[in-house]
Structure 1
Amino acid sequence: MQFILNDELIDDNTLPSDFTALRYLREKRGLTGTKEGCASGDCGACTLLVGALENGELTYSTLNSCITPVQSLSGKHVVSVEYLSKVDELHPAQQAMVESHGSQCGFCTPGFVLSLAGLYENKQNADQPIDREAVCDAISGNLCRCTGYRPIIDAGLSMIKVQEAKETPFIELMSKNEGIKSLLENLQAETNAKSNYLQPTNLEQLAQALTSYPDASLIAGGTDLMLENTQRYRDFDTLIDVSSVVELKALDIGAITLTIGASVTYSELEDFSKILYPQIHGLLSRIASRQIRNRGTIGGNVANASPIADLPPLLLAFDADIQLLKTDGSTRTVNINDFYQGYKQTQLAKDEMIASFDLPLDKLAQFHRFYKVSKRMEDDISSVMLAVRFDVDNGKLSDVRLAFGGMAATPIRGFKAEAALTDKAINDEQALNQAIDALRAELTPMSDMRASAKYRLDMACNLIRKAWLELNGTDVVTFSGHAVSDSILSTGLEGSTHA
């Protein structure tokens, strides 16, 4: 394992495969600015800034070091909070936090600072300025118990002004680390000789790794798998990291399908869909936090088979096909409607993994909406998730999909409600009411700490009505993202136009 930690080359082949980046910084390097708050990727106190070469450019993103194996950072530039400031000079993110009084007890502050620094460092590559939405997105995975978020948001918004006010401008990480590019290029050319954490870059190398280590566990983003280590104290032996397998990173629009590789991260799909598929982009902005989206993968979200996962209902709405890959290189196709067999049970055989997803372009072009109901806007699990698709032909609904997450042991469809709407006029309110009655008859939601069965059922029915209203041109209130106006903050009311 070789990577750059701040300005030091690290070469260490002595670590267990599941040794986290957080533990490495604190226990091995004495860099205690990075904190452990939850050990589950929920609080952001352990946030790190990680630079990677992409098309010859060095770009930085944030991640949760508490659930990131340090060996997965091989070939990267890892920045801890200690590296941000220079002698007698703070990074603009740090200086802005000081001037805006954005820190109180200080435990969460390093994580906030690195999240804001990541936003600042990448500002020249963004197509929009640093506004409130960008700041809230950047810190969406950072929790603060005592300061409150207003001064922290103020700090994020003032970073550029802090820089402009300096007599001698602060040299950004990207600029002062020009020399790191060549170092990273050389590191990426190195082969990982350590056998307990393998990082194949193509299917041939992956097949060799699987053959050599048949009992190894597969890991991509590790945002769920690593909880077995940090929460349940499970020790992993050999890990095979599939996040860099080029064939699993496909994100292509073909003649009839959109192909999404299993190792595509939420952030990558989010960027890809921003213009082409804004509804998908809006849903992705509600999944977890920026740190999690930077590492979590589409394949992991589906293969995990969690009933509250947000992407399976989306795939159900589009009747997606799943390409499964066996260790011998053979493949088979399973439709998403047949993939889930029960709670945490799928059609995946022991020698299979998800390779990609195929979404039909004609269905992507039809009316679709995704609604996520949760207690928090970001970094929260769905109480109810609805993915809906309506195909309209001559004023009638020729095809209907109503797919739910968070309602049962598996992602499910409302088949009877779909049938009640099919072949009916798009503005037939009687058909809508029949569909809602049918949904109440066929669904028996679970009750848990997030919501009661009654709440889930009422919300599911209301979401169907909401989608029907949107289909018929009614402007409904939908909050997806972090663009909250001052009027909302002060009165809780919004104007007549909503995104």
Structure 2
Amino acid sequence: MANSIRFFLNGQKQDVAVRPDITVLEWLRSGPRLTGTKEGCAEGDCGACSVLLGDASNGEIRYHAANSCIMTMGQIDGRALVTVEGLKGETLHPIQAAMAENGSSQCGFCTPGIVISLAGLAANETAADDHAIHDALAGNLCRCTGYRPIVEAARKVVGDGGASIPGPTVEAFEELKSSVEIATSGAVFHQPQTLDDLLKLRRDRPDTVLLAGGTDLGVALADFHGDWREVISTAHVRELRRIEETPAHLSFGAAVTWEEVLAHVAPLYPSFATLIRRFGSAQIRSMGTIGGNIGTASPIGDGPPALIALGAEIELASQGGKRTMPLEDFFLDYRKTELKPDEVIASIRISKPAGGQEFRVYKISKRYDQDISTVCGAFSVVRDGGIVKSARIAFGGMAAIPKRVREAEAALVGKRLDAEAARACAAAIRDAFAPLSDWRGSAEYRLMVAANLAERFRRDLLGETVEVMAL
């Protein structure tokens, strides 16, 4: 058991006796007084709190941007943390220099987070690609300058090869191992390394906070300034960090991040990749996990509708053994699932595309990037000679749980996906739901949008261009 959190801060080894459940942002500003990292929204949306996290892999340290406002100190144990102050050595980091030379900031509040995000991109990308630049900036809001001069500064640096992140050597980093348990200032942070160790903790402490990425739970922690006296983190469980691939399937351990999921599904299901980029910025994707997204059981969670339409299976594990079920059967009622007090989500498995399969997922929201869905609809069909042989359709935001719509599927099977079949599918979607009205959209609006997605899917498969926009 350790009584402190050990990590590298801007290249210097730290040994800090601080509660593991306080946020990294709070500690940075009140402890070492590194105030370049700021709080804007306290929800991981605005990016003012962005920092770089480093992890050793295959003999190198790779850095990625993350939101310090919703990340606990326990989560940086055994890692490298870089703030905007740490980017500057004897000279400015190339991104800092390019931003200054190009007049890319005005008030400066958001600028440190933007610099951090672009520094992470420049360290990992080998080409100045506008798509990559915009993706890296999706989690950073700037209301003063506008993004043109920021993007111009990024173009000068990204892919130039001289924008490495100052930090510890690989040898020094590898000597710093995360602790299995941290107990300090009245709080305990468990970091089991194996699934068996995790399940023992889960059995003995069923009411303890189970922390995956923390992109959902961390918002409540930051917003309400609560505390977690005891936490079980899944981040270091080897079995939950595995990605397994066969000729027919992909299996993701529950602690696999969405950034890692994205890399594997993008070549197979481009529409799913687009959804992943939209519901989480680079900062969120580097922290949030596929298992955590499912485990929160939110009716507006974006991952489950797509996964259900892809026929995903979920594996649950406890000391008594493992059980597998279709993902759509995991959700029982609002925030209620099949998960027992002594169980954890172990993995999620999806099939690779079959011959004749077409998949699309549509997220309708007020804002294009990083917004809560009003409606999320996912469609998957397998056709042979133009005839729909099988179909899977699922929606989020339309009921208390993510829901598969079998009646809408039946309206398509055995038919050509023409206008008449799309109308029948739309009618079945309308009949299947009685959604709520809230600030995101009225019940009538939700029903209309969800039904219209059947026609949008048909037109997509015809190759018609549909302008992508937030509605």
Shorter chain as denominator, the TM-score bin is over 0.9
Shift of 1:141: 0.6
Question: 1:314-463 counterparts in 2 under 5 A?
Answer: 314-326=306-318, 328-361=319-352, 366-427=357-418, 429-463=419-453
User: C-alpha distance in 1, partners of 2:428/2:203?
Assistant: 50
Whichever residue aligns with residue 147 of structure 2, its letter is Y
TM-score (norm 2): 0.92
* C-alpha contact 1:392 1:426 (8 A) present in aligned 2: no
- Partner residue, 1:149: 147
Flag the 1:456–1:48 CA change in 2: closer, same or farther, 3 A. Answer: same
Percent identity reads 41
- Partner residue, 1:238: 230
Shift of 1:403: 0.8
Question: 1:148-297 counterparts in 2 under 5 A?
Answer: 148-159=146-157, 172-174=163-165, 177=167, 179-188=168-177, 192-194=181-183, 196-210=188-202, 213-254=205-246, 256-297=248-289
Flag the 1:296–1:480 CA change in 2: closer, same or farther, 3 A. Answer: farther
Shift of 1:357: 1.1
TM-score (norm 1): 0.87
Q: Which runs of 5+ in 2 are unaligned?
A: none
Shift of 1:20: 0.9
Structure 2 counterpart SS, 1:173: coil
* C-alpha contact 1:417 1:435 (8 A) present in aligned 2: yes
User: C-alpha distance in 1, partners of 2:206/2:443?
Assistant: 42
Flag the 1:193–1:41 CA change in 2: closer, same or farther, 3 A. Answer: closer
* C-alpha contact 1:252 1:258 (8 A) present in aligned 2: yes
Flag the 1:362–1:376 CA change in 2: closer, same or farther, 3 A. Answer: closer
User: C-alpha distance in 2, partners of 1:147/1:339?
Assistant: 46
- Partner residue, 1:496: none
Shift of 1:414: 2.7
- Partner residue, 1:121: 123
Flag the 1:263–1:478 CA change in 2: closer, same or farther, 3 A. Answer: farther
Whichever residue aligns with residue 62 of structure 1, its letter is A
Shift of 1:363: 5.3
User: C-alpha distance in 2, partners of 1:20/1:227?
Assistant: 10
Structure 2 counterpart SS, 1:281: helix
User: C-alpha distance in 2, partners of 1:407/1:123?
Assistant: 39
Shift of 1:260: 1.5
- Partner residue, 2:23: 20
Deviations along 1:379-435, one digit per CA (max 9) or x if unpaired, are 1111211110112134321212221111222112333222221211233x2222222
Flag the 1:371–1:132 CA change in 2: closer, same or farther, 3 A. Answer: same
- Partner residue, 2:110: 108
- Partner residue, 2:301: 309
Shift of 1:101: 1.5
Shift of 1:191: 5.2
User: C-alpha distance in 1, partners of 2:469/2:255?
Assistant: 25
Whichever residue aligns with residue 174 of structure 2, its letter is E
User: C-alpha distance in 2, partners of 1:115/1:324?
Assistant: 35
Flag the 1:255–1:118 CA change in 2: closer, same or farther, 3 A. Answer: closer
Shift of 1:136: 0.9
Shift of 1:261: 1.2
Q: Which runs of 5+ in 1 are unaligned?
A: 165-170, 482-499
Moved over 4 A (4+): 189-193, 211-214, 362-365
| Count of aligned pairs | 463
Structure 1 counterpart SS, 2:174: helix
Greater mean deviation of Cα atoms: 110-119 or 198-207: 198-207
* C-alpha contact 1:207 1:329 (8 A) present in aligned 2: no
* C-alpha contact 1:402 1:414 (8 A) present in aligned 2: yes
User: C-alpha distance in 1, partners of 2:213/2:228?
Assistant: 15
Structure 2 counterpart SS, 1:358: strand
Deviations along 1:282-341, one digit per CA (max 9) or x if unpaired, are 221112211001100001111101111111101211222211111x15111222221111
- Partner residue, 1:489: none
Whichever residue aligns with residue 115 of structure 1, its letter is S
